[in-house]
Structure 1
């Protein structure tokens, strides 16, 4: 039988789930009750609500980094396996959506963290032969990250409404399934038939020093 995780880990898992369900203003006593500890023990381990939220941010980034890096280096089989594992991801996804919904500097920092991580695992995807290089890797990572998060955020219940984590996995599957075909088509069969618009933009941009890439090397 696997030993029970230490108190700080139980608190962190409970916080991710409780904040996902009720929002970032959920009472710490509810987190403590979920974790089977006293509210004072939360303060002992994390110091304050904001520091607990920061720990939740770090955990969300770590899990996302691990998942995306595996997909970028492991190919289609890993991608499909991860899509089938959305039940485990539900509290983290729910927490991230609540953090974005709340807005403010902490949400901005979380997005910046996702972008920084995406830049790294996109580079790993390039090395693995799954992705083509970009003229501006960080800008590409930011656009794709914000598109993905924005698509999820548009579907989220109002900020004060509870989020049902039991229903979230089924909703995530439906959301991913509705996006998968058009997104993969867009990424593998470019929307524009040729590069004339890109070439014209680069020619008119005085800050651009990159020559147009051909279909043969990268886009």
Structure 2
């Protein structure tokens, strides 16, 4: 005697064959996703830019005081370099770059420790602030360095007496040292120690809770669809 086939059973609301979980949960408009809002990010970026611009004055003071000087001498007709083979002019650029790299390292570490999340507004604020700080340092160093009126200073020093040439940057590309160093260090710190993106569960199908009698928003997996159960053959 053969038992009748049993009808296919219905999947319960919490059955393991329920519809797949979408990869990203819908977030209501205006909801906070766990990070600062756009307005807060813009405020933080502006704060970083302002603080770094002010710190540019410190770099300018250091550069204006510690940069190598280029000695000049004058006679009754013209002004000449005292040391034709001297490397003081290159040393002024090198001093500015070294100080800027150090400031870039410190500023990137400080910004990362303050806000570990990173984000585009914060990175833009860091880069813009570092560039403005370099410009401030450059202009301030020129002001506190030797004056740029070479003729007047040559007359003041007298013929054959050495005096310092005006401080200057031979290459304005040195102004990019601080922004490049800050961005590189901040990017490395964010990649190594920044927060990680959430990992989703393995497998394409997960439980999708629904109310009793409510249709699932996604179809069942074909290979795991509901199937009838064959009865056993008995004597």
Scaled by the length of structure 2, the TM-score of the pair is 0.32
Query: Greater relative contact order (Cα 8 A, min sep 6): structure 1 or 2?
Result: 2
Q: Specify the structure having the higher radius of gyration (Cα).
A: 2
